[in-house]
A = this chain, B = another copy of it.
Amino acid sequence: MKHVGPSAARFSDKMREECGIFGIHAHSDSAAHTTLGLHALQHRGQEAAGIVTYDGDHYHSHRSLGLVGDHFSSAVVIDRLKGHAAIGHVRYSTSGETLFRNIQPLFAEFAFGGLAIAHNGNLTNAISVRRRLVERGCLFQSTSDTEVIIHLIAISSYATVVDRMIDALRQIDGAYSLIALSNEALIGVRDRFGVRPLVLGRLEGALILASETCALDIIGAEFVRDVEPGEVVVIDSEGLRSMRPFPPAASKFCIFEYVYFARPDSQVEGSNVYDVRKRIGAQLARETGVAADIVVPVPDSGVPAAIGYATESGLPFELGIVRNHYVGRTFIEPSDRIRHLGVKLKHNSNAGTLRGKRVVLVDDSIVRGTTSEKIVNMVRDVGAAEVHMRIASPPTIESCFYGVDTPTRDDLLAARFDVDRMAVHIGVDSLAFLSPDGMYRALGRAGRDPKTPQYCDACFTGDYPIPLTDHKGGDDARQLSLLSDED
């Protein structure tokens, strides 16, 4: 899901998955299970959440800024969300009223009934389609590209919801997984490249759709299979129907889901994420080994790769950096004069472990490099003898346009500097990245197929599998609304 307005990534030094989605059909505790499922997907979006249920007569909706656990778990909320079918959504977001109108699932009423849609991903021709729709007299209420889909459904000349939705999706490009709830069915769709994940599960006869398997685990549901690229699944009282209405395409699953986005306990496209990360770490050790005393992860995301690295290299694995999980959502650095203290809000280096040691510091990726620089400083401050940084992915040199909140290219450290200058910039004795081929090998491939890469790795290679229609228009073209975003 895309929105206009200050990008959260401007302030973070991580790429951020923008959404997690969940849906359940024909279960008496649909709202409660959706709440749990969204909680398990919270790592994919922590700023806002929404659930829509359908009870056979009415749709019920609850949306809120903040964490699922803080805003959706009370009996009052759950009881109001009546019905045997539900879909939900977690997302990142900006602030203020603008945001509120963008919280998903979006709901619309058509001549044929209601439809709620929750969407993970990004449409790459949304702006041009939107312009065409506005000219036709369609009124947009949000700046979300999901609303483009809804209008295309509203004006489709097909008769059924499913046909209208397929008609709509055929007109758009992009990377997306989506879950929709109509009067008759729960519907799941993955784009034809399968960039974003979507899995199918089962609990006591009820079928479930979710971004990751960890959302099945939390409710005790069984993992059935991945929804396939280009597949439409329709779940109704008759059971599940599968359709493949889009032109076939080579699978392009987002490789960064393995690097950082997905939860380590999820099974993604056939692989356990934690295992992949350990294999990446081992591969990294083989490619970039260095004489050192200890292997220290940048917590929490660097931990599995660091374990793999330590095991492969035979060096001790040590928690030399401690993370404070109580940072909260609103920590404002207290004053200009002490702004430089900010980095320690989240991490502290453990002098007892690091002093005098040659340290291999393992992190999953470098985006802006601001955090890396501060952490290296902290490690040096407590007396580390050498600091060798090892990154469990190739250099991030391009922005993502497929549903991930990334800085613009100019803010990516690896787009500005070569590896040697990056090493100087962040202050390490040595710096090394995993090779693209190494990455593919950790995923069980012989290497990257340069002609038809087996994954979407555009952020490492600039090789974008889906056309970036809107992007060509430049940034000005992205001003979607006359209504001020700050209000």
Contact = CB atoms under 8 A, between A and B. Distances in A.
A422 interface: no
B272 A352 contact: yes
A434 interface: no
Contacts of A327: 39, 69
Contacts of A97: 61, 63
A334 B36 contact: yes
A338 B58 contact: no
Nearest to A271: B352
Contacts of A156: 137
B59 A348 contact: no
A326 interface: yes
Interface residues on A, range: 35 or more
Interface stretch (A310-318, A365-373, A466-474): A310-318
Interface string A171-192: 0000000000000000000000
A220 B307 CA distance: 30
A167 B59 CA distance: 34
Given A70-B328, A109-B481, A267-B352, A307 B311 contact: no
Interface string A57-85: 11111110001111001110010101000
Given A29-B338, A108-B139, A350-B272, A330 B70 contact: yes
Interface stretch (A110-118, A252-260, A409-417): A110-118
Nearest to A353: B274
A334 B80 contact: no
A31 B483 contact: no
A10 interface: no
B114 A482 contact: yes
29 contacts: A31-B334, A40-B348, A42-B326, A43-B324, A60-B483, A61-B97, A67-B328, A69-B326, A69-B345, A73-B331, A107-B483, A109-B483, A110-B137, A111-B134, A137-B138, A138-B154, A139-B141, A139-B154, A217-B344, A218-B344, A219-B341, A220-B341, A265-B348, A265-B351, A272-B353, A274-B319, A275-B353, A300-B325, A311-B316
Contacts of A287: none
B487 A61 contact: yes
A219 B341 CA distance: 6
A463 interface: no
A180 B44 CA distance: 41
Copies of this protein in the assembly total 4
A446 interface: no
Contact of A352 (B113, B134, B275): B275
Interface of A: 29, 31-33, 35-36, 39-40, 42-43, 46, 57-63, 67-70, 73-75, 78, 80, 82, 97, 107-111, 113-114, 131, 134-141, 150-151, 154-156, 214, 217-220, 263-265, 267, 272, 274-275, 300, 303-304, 307, 311, 316-319, 322, 324-335, 337-338, 341, 344-345, 348-353, 481-484, 486-487
Nearest to A63: B97
A330 B73 contact: yes
Contacts of A80: 486-487
A156 B67 CA distance: 43
A35 B338 CA distance: 11
A475 to B, nearest CB: 16
Given A36-B338, A61-B483, A275-B352, A141 B138 contact: no
A173 B59 CA distance: 30
A318 B303 CA distance: 10
Contacts of A42: 324, 326
Given A69-B329, A69-B345, A111-B131, 12 more contacts: A29-B334, A32-B337, A35-B334, A73-B330, A111-B137, A217-B348, A218-B348, A219-B338, A220-B344, A264-B319, A265-B351, A272-B352
B32 A334 contact: yes
